[in-house]
A and B are shown apart, each in its own frame.
Chain A
Amino acid sequence: MTVRRRTALGPLPAWAEIVVLPLVNIALAFVVVGVIVAIIGIDPFHALRLLVLGAIGSSESIGYTLYYATNFMFTGLAVAVAFHAGLFNIGGEGQAYIGGLGCGLAVLALGDVVPGWFLVPLAIAAAALFGAGWAAVPAWLQAWRGSHIVITTIMFNFIASALMVYLMVNVLIAPGSMTPASRAFAASGWIPSMHDVLRAAGIPIAASALNLSIVLALLCCFAVWVFLWHTPGGYALRTMGHSPEAAVYAGTNLKRTTMVAMCFSGALAGFVGVNELMGVHHRIVLDFPAGYGFAGIAVALMGRNHPLGVMLAALLFGALQQGGTELAFEIPSITREMVVVIQGLIILFSGALVHLPRPWLQYLFASRY
């Protein structure tokens, strides 16, 4: 019988929903972070300054921020696409891993055979294909057998991890090497790094891990936007996400749409492999997804599952990743674990607790009328 009085408050204006609410969330997170930092005896404002400078203080740090943001964009988009179909894809981690295997195998197999202009698109397609394939199995199980996609995608993360360890240790390891990594990719299979490209264009910037994969990420943002809101397929997908009954009524094949959504999602996650392996490591290595798949959930949540929001959230997460690393380097008493706590709090506030300040804002906006 308890009816929340909040129902009396109207919805927030769109701009407040998209801009003010996330900013309030981040501010809240920083307040809590500040308290914790103060407790261990460090001036929170000093730490904040180091964090911000570490993220955007130089062309090198900006490069790293954007490089991390590229990964977050891929996995954030992956979660968002599935979410619009009413599917919770927790398997970005595994799909990214297997996507990396896909592009890695393509480059290893064809690196010395075909020219770069052909190899790179082919390897990118292989990453998409492998990522999609890894998502297709849970999707199939959900569509035809009713297995819950959250459970199966989580399980597939473990399977992907175990599979990659096996492959790296027993099959793909470079001959004579003691570390589980493949032989180096042929240079024709590399994604050019941003500092090389810009130097060639006469703009010198500091070297960083940033590479042209970020262009692919931006293209993906655009493609997702077009697909979801400007194609009949995306319309059907969103209809299914909001109301499966309405989708059936409209003649949408739910099984097929589930497959399409998850394969698209898996392909996007698979592109993490492109950024990491073709762009930076230039070989297949272990554990390169490093939690990007899971962070993608928070990115999508914070970005309201909209490509533009995902892009902005990815930038923030990238900045936190880079700034946090710098912070741990500059202040020894802030350990690596402390940085993870800080990132975790920001994810907590802007992800899981995203609706916490809404009633306050609603009250604020309601009282203006």
Chain B
Amino acid sequence: MQALTPTAAAIELREIEKSFGTVHAVRGVSLRIEKGAITGIVGENGAGKSTLMSILYGLYRADAGEIRVDGRPVAMASSREALGHGIGMVHQHFMLVDTFTVLENLVLGAEGGPLLAGGLEAARAELARLAREYGLSVDPDARIADLSVGEQQRVEILKVLFRGARILILDEPSAVLTPQETDRLFGVLASLRERGVTVVLITHKLREIVAVTDHVCVMRRGRVVAERRTADTNVEELAELMVGRKVRLDLDKIPPRLGEVLLRAEHLSLVDGRGVRRLDDVGIELRAGEIVGIAGVSGNGQSELLQVLSGIRAPDGGRLTVCGRVIDADHPGDPAEMRDLGVAHVPEDRLRQGMVAAFEASETSILGYQGRAPFTSYYLLDGPAVVAHCADLMERYDVRPRLPTLGSSLFSGGNQQKLVLAREIARQPRVLLVGQPTRGVDIGAIEFIRRELVKARDAGCAVLVVSVELEEILSLSDRILVMFAGRIVGEVEPGETNEPALGLLMAGAAAA
């Protein structure tokens, strides 16, 4: 062990290099991660932060460079070795067995003998100790499938601690969490730090960095471009460092020029298969030329609202009038018909709904419009026309790389979202429904996407934005509706409210 100086480094990376074929992902990165502190690593998608952490965690091998843990150089050849050095990683996508209990997941890979019982009892005792020590309480006998997303993440963290990790790497931990769950996570991270655990937080959400970290390291194009004490920096400076130029996420919006009502929902209700009322007496009026934001903690009916408005599901009660067409339980619409009416929809779940990961980008660029001219003529798809269309969208909406034949899944999140948005906006829809416009999207693309949405509104499109990012709702919307438990519980003007006030509404405080 090194002598414990106040600034002892838990991990030191020296001149790390990594290339994939012709892509130079990490270029001579040197980095110190302080012991017992929370270090944030920020950067846009593709900046190399995930690659760097994968090298640290033994998933990739560095082409050159040295890794030191507690001052000793180590060869990190596998995740098992990384764990042996006390380094544990919590992945963005949970690696839990849904049908197992918390305890069974915990001992997975560390069962401790041919019979489970002994290992399980030891694990139960260890879990109780971890819960006491770090304040990470989870019911050991609960099934993973029954836990909330926030609790599942807690199990992931416990799994890593259970294996003796003293250095915790979290990859985009808040991507799947509600604001409340994110706060709770940060509480947990702070208490881990109190107990001397070193935390590395990979994220592109700058507010979180500022809220929770002690040090921050900014990566751009494979290099570390800045290291700061969090106390000495701010969101604006970090954003500029990340992108390499000034970024303005606040939008200069002209006042909306309201037109006719294009979409009117009256007393919409929807009951799901388990008898839970997902939408309850929802009324919305959407006019041409305005952006209406739907705020709310995820899971309060926003997804179902989008499904009903876009024709994917028929409402059980109430009615929906879209550009003159009336939709109710007896006269359901379908997504194709809604497209004919001029309703475009950028879905919440980009990867599963908005595109087909296995398709080429050009194929994704006609999803939902495949049967129309100019893509189909005489019952046959016109391949060159589809590719030309995609190339045109890529040019106009700055989708990179500009390769229509590249697999959709090989684009970064931001570029995928730009492609989906381009597909929907380029047809100049009358109504645009957008779910989570910038989820998992890097900051440069966020700026672009928000400006495009405002552009569409200024062109007379009626835009409905559903987002769990309050800051996004506040900056985009002309009016804000707050959803809680399937109801619209409040309507506010963005100029007359702020995040705490909205947060209260979202938590149902005003719902009588």
Judge: A and B partners, yes or no.
yes
Chain A: residues with CB nearer than 8 A to chain B?
1-3, 5, 7-8, 10, 226, 229-232, 234-236, 238-239, 242-243, 245-246, 248-251, 253, 369
Q: Can you list the 5 inter-chain pairs with the closest CB atoms, starting with the nearest?
A: A251-B336, A251-B335, A250-B368, A232-B371, A232-B370
Known: A5-B78, A232-B371, A239-B356. 16 other contacts (CB 8 A): A1-B109, A2-B109, A3-B59, A10-B20, A10-B21, A230-B380, A231-B376, A234-B381, A235-B363, A238-B356, A243-B352, A248-B353, A249-B312, A249-B345, A249-B367, A251-B368
Which of A3, A8, A242, A251 touches B356 (beta carbons < 8 Å)? Answer: A242
Q: With a CB–CB cut-off of 8 A, which chain B residues contact A2?
A: 79-80, 109
Please report whether the interface of chain B is mostly helix, strand, loop or mixed according to DSSP. Answer: loop
Given contacts A245-B353, A246-B356, A250-B335, contact A231 B79 (CB under 8 A): no
Q: With a CB–CB cut-off of 8 A, which chain A residues contact B358?
A: 242
Which of B20, B95, B160, B370 touches A250 (beta carbons < 8 Å)? Answer: B370
Q: Are A250 and B59 in contact (CB under 8 A)?
A: no
**What is the interface size of chain B, counting residues whose CB is below 8 A from a CB of the partner?**
47
What CA separation (Å) do A7 and B160 show in the bound complex? 21
What CA separation (Å) do A229 and B311 show in the bound complex? 27
Tell me which residues from 107 to 145 in chain B have a Cβ below 8 Å from any Cβ of chain A: 108-109
Given contacts A2-B109, A232-B376, contact A248 B356 (CB under 8 A): no
**B487 CB within 8 Å of chain A:** no
What CA separation (Å) do A226 and B378 show in the bound complex? 13
Q: With a CB–CB cut-off of 8 A, which chain A residues contact B354?
A: 246, 249
**B357 CB within 8 Å of chain A:** yes
Q: Are B357 and A243 in contact (CB under 8 A)?
A: yes
Q: With a CB–CB cut-off of 8 A, which chain A residues contact B335?
A: 248-251
Q: How far is the CB of B419 from chain A (nearest CB, A)?
A: 14
Q: With a CB–CB cut-off of 8 A, which chain B residues contact A235?
A: 363, 366, 370, 381
What CA separation (Å) do A10 and B60 show in the bound complex? 12
Would you mind naming 18 contact pairs between A and B with Cβ atoms under 8 Å apart? A1-B83, A1-B163, A2-B109, A3-B59, A10-B20, A226-B380, A231-B381, A232-B371, A238-B359, A239-B367, A242-B358, A246-B353, A249-B335, A250-B336, A251-B311, A251-B337, A251-B339, A369-B21
What CA separation (Å) do A234 and B375 show in the bound complex? 13
Given contacts A1-B109, A5-B78, contact A246 B60 (CB under 8 A): no
Interface string of B13-36 (1 = CB under 8 A from A): 000000011000000000000000
Given contacts A1-B159, A3-B59, contact A230 B383 (CB under 8 A): yes
* Most chain B beta-carbon neighbours within 10 Å: one of A2, A231, A242, A246: A246
What CA separation (Å) do A369 and B79 show in the bound complex? 24
Tell me which residues from 346 to 370 in chain B have a Cβ below 8 Å from any Cβ of chain A: 347, 349, 352-359, 363, 366-368, 370
Q: How far is the CB of B261 from chain A (nearest CB, A)?
A: 24
What CA separation (Å) do A243 and B357 show in the bound complex? 8
**B334 CB within 8 Å of chain A:** yes
Which of B61, B349, B366 touches A245 (beta carbons < 8 Å)? Answer: B349
Q: With a CB–CB cut-off of 8 A, which chain A residues contact B80?
A: 2
Tell me which residues from 301 to 354 in chain B have a Cβ below 8 Å from any Cβ of chain A: 310-312, 334-339, 345, 347, 349, 352-354
Tell me which residues from 58 to 90 in chain B have a Cβ below 8 Å from any Cβ of chain A: 59-61, 78-80, 83
What CA separation (Å) do A287 and B363 show in the bound complex? 43
Q: With a CB–CB cut-off of 8 A, which chain A residues contact B357?
A: 242-243
Q: With a CB–CB cut-off of 8 A, which chain B residues contact A242?
A: 356-359
What CA separation (Å) do A5 and B109 show in the bound complex? 16
What CA separation (Å) do A364 and B487 show in the bound complex? 58
Q: With a CB–CB cut-off of 8 A, which chain B residues contact A1?
A: 79, 83, 95, 108-109, 159-160, 163
Closest to A236 in B: B370
Closest to A2 in B: B109
What CA separation (Å) do A243 and B359 show in the bound complex? 10
What CA separation (Å) do A369 and B24 show in the bound complex? 13
Q: How far is the CB of A119 from chain B (nearest CB, A)?
A: 29
Given contacts A1-B159, A232-B381, contact A8 B59 (CB under 8 A): yes
Q: Are B79 and A3 in contact (CB under 8 A)?
A: yes
What CA separation (Å) do A7 and B20 show in the bound complex? 13
What CA separation (Å) do A239 and B353 show in the bound complex? 10
What CA separation (Å) do A238 and B338 show in the bound complex? 22
Q: With a CB–CB cut-off of 8 A, which chain A residues contact B59?
A: 3, 5, 7-8
Closest to B310 in A: A249
Q: With a CB–CB cut-off of 8 A, which chain A residues contact B311?
A: 251
Q: With a CB–CB cut-off of 8 A, which chain A residues contact B160?
A: 1
Closest to B369 in A: A250
Q: With a CB–CB cut-off of 8 A, which chain B residues contact A369?
A: 21
Q: How far is the CB of B366 from chain A (nearest CB, A)?
A: 8
Q: Are A231 and B83 in contact (CB under 8 A)?
A: no
What CA separation (Å) do A248 and B311 show in the bound complex? 10
